[in-house]
Structure formats: structure tokens, C-alpha cells
């Protein structure tokens, strides 16, 4: 009886050790977003460490490789949005980190389309505005445009970070206990079949 | 140590799955009825151990404990590790379902090799030698797993020596840590519950 108690104690101790570690290793994540005419990707292990010098490859939805590159010291890799005629459908960004870790992220045409439509909207707007207020030259408009973009980038950065955080997988106690429960269940079934064999 | 989905080529995946299926089938057939609770507990230990990570340079590694599991279980280490890895894949997205066979084989085969190499030694009368062997066992199990991961990755086209070096350097602290943990585990069991070791 005393010995069994020891085993239970070791088990509890192991679980407590796990709970005290807030983040976990052994998975890589990649997160990508469109900013202006570039696509930025950030790669990190799921304990928050950046993936340095990891290979990033970009594919279209036909599986053709468009480009590839390495992440920098911040785990960031950025590239220009490929011209519209090159893209067929969504862009798939694949991260291959060391030791067999791999993750992918898909940028939908919707996200890419936004930047393209902003570009065309700018041109449409220029003329009517200059008709209403002739003192605003097109140069001013461009400045305003870039100012708005800068501010938006700054404001959106926070939201982007939040989204990124929510994508990071935190392992909860429920999942751990649940997993252990499954294991006992599975071996319960095995024990059942073994006992029927006899 | 968990190889993610979409890295290995189909032949490697199929070979891994086939080898694992055979080994699991064999050990389930061989498994004694009264062994099942022990297998279940050690399977949960393996499941939880992978969540304890060791921060290290640009990457991070985690405990594997396949040495201890092999020593205590022998052949049933295969189903134990398979079940734990399957759940890690489904719940935490470690590794993957298609790579389950390869990953199980990479971690369970060293466990069984260690069982055959050290099973006698750690039961010996000499406590000191038993503990030294326990350390070697924990160390070697991770080392072998690392070599097997590197071997599996060779077929993706990367040069073996380069990956092997990377995997082994990354896991060196884990090897030492696992060696020490195995010493504590075996030392403890020898004192408190020798019947688990079948002494």
C-alpha cells in the first residue's frame, strides 16, 4: 500500500512539473500578414523562441514554388506580393525548421486582394476629390495616404500581435488530464481483450 | 524528436508504419494480462514527459524517457509509446498522424535495444554498477533515437552527417538529463519497489 502511494506521488509530481511550465516546445508556428506591398512572415517555436535561419518556401495553390528564403535573427522573412498574374488562388507559405519541424500558413486571395483593391481605389478617388477641393494636390493625397497607412500599421500591429498570441497553442491542464484519461481507457480496452482471450 | 507531417517521403512513412504495426502486433500478443496497468502508467509518463522542455540555443528539446520505459516494459514499450504519441499528435499537434509509425519506431526501438542491453545489469546485486548502467541506458536511448531521426530525414535529401550532428548536439543535454533521471528512477525502484524490476 505504501509503495503504491509512492507511485501516485511521483505521478502527481510529474503533472505539477508540467503545469509550472507555461509554454511548451516541439512545434513550430508560422504567422504571415500582408503589409503594404510586402508579405511578412514570423516563425517561432511554440515556446516563443524565434526560428533563425529556417527555410521559408512560398507556393501557389497549384503547388508551384514561387520563391524561397531564410528567416533572419528575429525569425522574420518578408517578400514582395507576387504580381497578380502569377498568383493562382491562395498563397501557401511553408516553414521548414531544423530536425524535422514543419509548419505552413495560407494567405487567402482575400487578404492579398485587399492591398490590390486599395491601390486601385486610390486612383479612383484622386480625381473626384481634386475636383471638389482643387487646393489639395495629388501629392498631398499621397502623403495623406501614406500617413493613414503608417497610423493604421501602428494601430494594427497590436491587433496582429494579439491574433498571433491567440494562435500560439498553450497546453491546458484539461488536455493533459484528458490525454492521460484516454491512455487509461485505451489500455482498459486492451486489458479487456486480453482477458477474453484467456 | 517528433517529425512533423509533410516532411518525409511516402516510402519512409510506409516502412515506418509497417515496422511499427508488426512490432506492436507482436508485443500485444506477447503481453501478459497483469502487465497492462504498468504499460498504461508508463504510457502516460511518456505522454507527459514530452511536455517538459529544456530550452537550448535556437531550438528547444524535451524529455523522452524512452530509456526508462524500455527498461521497465521491454516489448510492451511499443504499444505504450504508440498510444502516447497518437494522443500527443491529436491533442497537441506534436508530430502527426501520418508520421506516427516512423516516430513510434524511432523512439520505441531504442527502448527495446536498451531493454536487452541493460535489463540484466540493472538488476545486479552491485548497486553502484546498476546505477552506472542506468545512466548509460538513459543516455544511449536518446542517442539512438537521434540517430534514427537523422536517418529518417536523410531520405528528404539533406546530408546525413549534417542532420545527425544537429540532432545529436541539440539532444546532448537531454541525453545527460535522461541519464541522470534514469539513475534516480532505477535507484528509487531498487530500494522501494524492486518487484517492478522483476528482481
DSSP state letters, B25-94: HHHHHH--GGGHHHHHHHHHHHHHHTTSEEEETTEEEE---HHHHHHHHSTTHHHHHHHHHHHIIIII--
- What's the confidence (pLDDT) of residue A24? 39
- Which is nearest to A39 in space by CA: A78, A66, A70? A78
Angle (nearest 5°) at CA B104 between B99 and B109:
140
Q: Which of A14, A16, A23, A25 to mutate to test the interface with B (most CBs of B within 10 A)?
A: A25
Task: Give the A window 76-135 contacts with B, CB below 8 Å.
Answer: 94, 96-104
Helix B100-118 with B77-87: angle, nearest 10 deg? 150
Q: Please give the mean pLDDT across all residues of chain A.
A: 72
Q: Which residues on chain A are in Cβ contact (under 8 Å) with B166? A: 98-99
Whole-number Å distance between alpha carbons of A47 and B60: 8
Q: Where are the domains of chain A?
A: 28-167
pTM above 0.90, yes or no: no
Q: Is the dihedral of CA A29, B153, B3, A26 positive or negative?
A: negative
- Which is nearest to B101 in space by CA: B19, B42, B196? B19
> Would an 8 Å CB–CB cutoff place A147 in contact with chain B?
no
> Would an 8 Å CB–CB cutoff place B75 in contact with chain A?
no
- What's the confidence (pLDDT) of residue B86? 92
Whole-number Å distance between alpha carbons of B140 and B154: 21
Whole-number Å distance between alpha carbons of B17 and B14: 5
- What's the confidence (pLDDT) of residue A122? 44
Q: Which of A3, A179, A198 to mutate to test the interface with B (most CBs of B within 10 A)?
A: A179
First to last CA, chain B: 32
| Complex prediction ipTM | 0.79
Mean pLDDT value of segment A142-150: 85
- What's the confidence (pLDDT) of residue A22? 38
Whole-number Å distance between alpha carbons of B96 and B106: 14
- What's the confidence (pLDDT) of residue A32? 80
- Three-state SS at A43: strand
Dmax over CA atoms of chain B, in Å, equals 49
Cβ contact, residue pair B33, A11, below 8 Å? no
Starting at the earlier edge strand, list the strands of the sheet with A65-70.
A65-70, A55-60, A91-97, A101-107
Confidence check: pLDDT of A138 > 60: yes
Q: Which of B13, B24, B42, B44 to mutate to test the interface with A (most CBs of A within 10 A)?
A: B44
Whole-number Å distance between alpha carbons of B110 and B89: 21
Pairwise pLDDT comparison (B40 vs A119), residue with the higher score: B40
Confidence check: pLDDT of A134 > 60: no
Whole-number Å distance between alpha carbons of B181 and A127: 74
Specify the residue for cell string 533572419: A72
Residue of A nearest to B36 (CA): A191
Mean pLDDT value of segment A108-125: 53
Specify the residue for cell string 524517457: B65
Q: Which residues on chain B are in Cβ contact (under 8 Å) with A94? A: 6
Written as one string, the DSSP assignment of chain A is -HHHHHHHHHHHHHHHHHHT--S--S-EEEEEEEETTEEEEEEEETTS-B--S-EEEEEETT--EEEEEE--TTSEEEEEPPPTTT--S-EEEEEEETTTEEEEEEE-HHHHHHHHHHHHHHHHHHHHHHHH-TTS-HHHHHHHHHHHHHHHHHHHHHHHHHHHHHHSPPPPHHHHHHHHHHHHHHHHHHHHHHHHH-
Whole-number Å distance between alpha carbons of A97 and B59: 9
- Other beta carbons within 10 angstroms of residue B71's beta carbon come to 30
- Asked if CATH classification 2.60.40.10 holds for the domain at A28-167, the reply, yes or no, is yes
Between A11, A99, A180, which is nearest B59 by CB? Answer: A99
- What's the confidence (pLDDT) of residue A2? 60
Confidence check: pLDDT of A118 > 70: no
- What's the confidence (pLDDT) of residue A40? 82
- What's the confidence (pLDDT) of residue B104? 93
Q: Which residues on chain B are in Cβ contact (under 8 Å) with A187? A: 36-37, 39-40, 43, 83
Element (H, E) at B140: helix B127-154
First to last CA, chain A: 28
Confidence check: pLDDT of A11 > 70: no
Residue of B nearest to A181 (CA): B44
DSSP type of residue A198? -
CATH number of B10-197: 1.10.1760.20
- What's the confidence (pLDDT) of residue A167? 62
Dump pLDDT digits (tens) for A68-113: 888 887 778 888 877 766 666 677 888 877 666 778 888 776 666 5
- Intervals of chain B under pLDDT 50: none
Specify the residue for cell string 537531454: B174
- What's the confidence (pLDDT) of residue B18? 94
Phi, psi of A44 (to 5 degrees): -155, 155
- What's the confidence (pLDDT) of residue A61? 75
Confidence check: pLDDT of A26 > 70: no
- What's the confidence (pLDDT) of residue B171? 79
Phi, psi of A21 (to 5 degrees): -95, 115
Of A14-18, A122-126, A164-168, B142-146, the range with the highest mean pLDDT is: B142-146
The fraction of chain A above a pLDDT of 70, given in percent, is 60
Amino acid at each position: 500500500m505504501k509503495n503504491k502511494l509512492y507511485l501516485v506521488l511521483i505521478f502527481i509530481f510529474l503533472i505539477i512539473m508540467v503545469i509550472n511550465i507555461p509554454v511548451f516546445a516541439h512545434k513550430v508556428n508560422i504567422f504571415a500578414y500582408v503589409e503594404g506591398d510586402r508579405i511578412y512572415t514570423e516563425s517561432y517555436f511554440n515556446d516563443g523562441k524565434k526560428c533563425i535561419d529556417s527555410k521559408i518556401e512560398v507556393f501557389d495553390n497549384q503547388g508551384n514554388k514561387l520563391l524561397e528564403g531564410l528567416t533572419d535573427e528575429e525569425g522574420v522573412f518578408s517578400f514582395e506580393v507576387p504580381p497578380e498574374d502569377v498568383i493562382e488562388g491562395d498563397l501557401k507559405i511553408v516553414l521548414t525548421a531544423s530536425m524535422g519541424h514543419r509548419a505552413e500558413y495560407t494567405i487567402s486571395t482575400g487578404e492579398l486582394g485587399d492591398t490590390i483593391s486599395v491601390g486601385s481605389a486610390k486612383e479612383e478617388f484622386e480625381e473626384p476629390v481634386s475636383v471638389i477641393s482643387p487646393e489639395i494636390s495629388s501629392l498631398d493625397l499621397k502623403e495623406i495616404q501614406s500617413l493613414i497607412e503608417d497610423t493604421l500599421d501602428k494601430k494594427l500591429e497590436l491587433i496582429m500581435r494579439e491574433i498571433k498570441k491567440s494562435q500560439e497553442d498553450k497546453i491546458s491542464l484539461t488536455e493533459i488530464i484528458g490525454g492521460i484519461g484516454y491512455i487509461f481507457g485505451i489500455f482498459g480496452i486492451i486489458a479487456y481483450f486480453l482477458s477474453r482471450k484467456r | 524528436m517528433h517529425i512533423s507531417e509533410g516532411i518525409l517521403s511516402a516510402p519512409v512513412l510506409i516502412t515506418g508504419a509497417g515496422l511499427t504495426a508488426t512490432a506492436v502486433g507482436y508485443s500485444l500478443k506477447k503481453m501478459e494480462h497483469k502487465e497492462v496497468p504498468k504499460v498504461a502508467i508508463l504510457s502516460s509518463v511518456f505522454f507527459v514527459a514530452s511536455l517538459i522542455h529544456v530550452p537550448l540555443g535556437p531550438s528547444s528539446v524535451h524529455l523522452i524517457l524512452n530509456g526508462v520505459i524500455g527498461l521497465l516494459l521491454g516489448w510492451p514499450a511499443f504499444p505504450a509509446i504508440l498510444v502516447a504519441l497518437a494522443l500527443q499528435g491529436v491533442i497537441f499537434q506534436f508530430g502527426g498522424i501520418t508520421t506516427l509509425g516512423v516516430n513510434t519506431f524511432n523512439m520505441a526501438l531504442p527502448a527495446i535495444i536498451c531493454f536487452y542491453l541493460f535489463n540484466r545489469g540493472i538488476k545486479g546485486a552491485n548497486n553502484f554498477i546498476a546505477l552506472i548502467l542506468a545512466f548509460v541506458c538513459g543516455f544511449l536511448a536518446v542517442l539512438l533515437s537521434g540517430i534514427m531521426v537523422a536517418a529518417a530525414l536523410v531520405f528528404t535529401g539533406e546530408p546525413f552527417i549534417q542532420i545527425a550532428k544537429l540532432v545529436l548536439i541539440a539532444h546532448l543535454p537531454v541525453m545527460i538529463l535522461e541519464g541522470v533521471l534514469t539513475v534516480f528512477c532505477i535507484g528509487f525502484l531498487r530500494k522501494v519497489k524492486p518487484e517492478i524490476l522483476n528482481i
